Amino acid sequence: MELKDRIIKEAFELFVIYGIRSVTMDQIAGHLGISKRTLYETFKDKNDLLKVGMKFFLTNKKTQALEIVNSATNVVEAIYTFGKWGEDTKRKISPLFFEDIRKYYPEVHELFFTKNKIRDYTITHTLILKGIDQGVFRKDLDADLVNNYVHELMNIIHNEAVFPKTQYSEKEIFKNIIMPYFIGVCTKKGQQLIEQYFEEVKE
């Protein structure tokens, strides 16, 4: 792995675990075993490193998401895998990470969050089309419309003012909000797969 890629990967991991403000460029250099001068020769400042780190994170996220879609036996399995993957990923990220971006890194927040680049609409669109082809989702669905709705639904369920994490778990939200919607757009085959998979994951 090239030095620049190693800096991006390991610095971003520190940001995610400890928050961004609490991690200094000195600490990043020490963690990597390089001089601070080398670090600043590679990245202008922490803001620059964070922007590149976010792009690295989103690229990896898309790669992993596509692997889930392509390796799943059917889209129902992919949806459940996405749910578990999302829960596991969030558990590893300190709340300070997102709070720091919102408060102290407005340029990064504007670039990735305000413009909604944190989500990749193409992944869910691929999933919906695959579900229609597999006979899991109804063939009369408008894939674009369903895709937009799913992302708006994600915005709502991740809104702390509406669904505070202290009151609702990811599992409860998935079971009571996300899956009932997908049952509604499924064929009988899809509904049977959901019931079957739900029974399996409960055991």
Higher pLDDT, 83 or 200: 83
Q: Is the pLDDT of residue 191 over 60?
A: yes
Domain 3-202, CATH among 1.20.950.20, 1.10.3720.10, 3.40.50.300, 1.10.357.10:
1.10.357.10
Q: Which two tokens stand for residue 152?
A: 């708006």
- For residue range 153-176, list pLDDT tens digits in order: 988 887 888 888 789 887 788 788
Question: What ranges do the domains of the chain cover?
Answer: 3-202
Instruction: Provide the pLDDT confidence category of residue 114 given band limits of 50, 70 and 90.
Output: low
The residues with which 137 forms a beta bridge, in sequence order, are: 186
What is the largest distance, in Å, between two alpha-carbon atoms of the chain?
62
Question: pTM of the predicted model, to two decimals?
Answer: 0.80
Cα–Cα dist 24/15, whole Å = 10
Angle at 65 between CA 190 and CA 187, to 5 degrees: 10
- For residue range 35-65, list pLDDT tens digits in order: 999 999 999 999 999 999 999 998 998 899 9
